[in-house]
Amino acid sequence: MVTTFDMYDIDVQVFMEALDHCKGNVYLRTDEGDYINLKSKLSQIAGLMQLIEGGKVVKAKIECDNVEDVSYLFRLNLFGHQKKPGEESQE
């Protein structure tokens, strides 16, 4: 099942590091209708370059194949740094 959500004001470096921890495919959907697979570093650079303003991704429409990735990236969008999928709590 593919889930789509919007991300706003994301730090590019943090977002690219988070993508490395995703288990499934993560796609950037552009306003022009293109789908860019963000699991590839080259695609990350090409896709994110058009969305960056001042070191932050202003707005991105993201699609994920894996439900855990959706939760991880959605929480990253809301709260900033998050535990990686499968990482145990330190509490």
pLDDT tens, position by position, for the chain (91 residues)?
A: 677 888 888 888 888 899 999 999 999 988 778 889 999 989 888 887 877 777 677 778 999 999 999 999 989 888 876 565 556 544 4
Question: Domains along the chain?
Answer: 3-79 (3.30.1340.10)
Residues 6+ apart with CB under 8 A from 29: 4, 35, 36, 61, 62, 63
Global confidence as pTM: 0.75
- Cite the DSSP H helix spans in the chain: 12-20, 41-49, 67-79
pLDDT of residue 87: 60
pLDDT of residue 91: 42
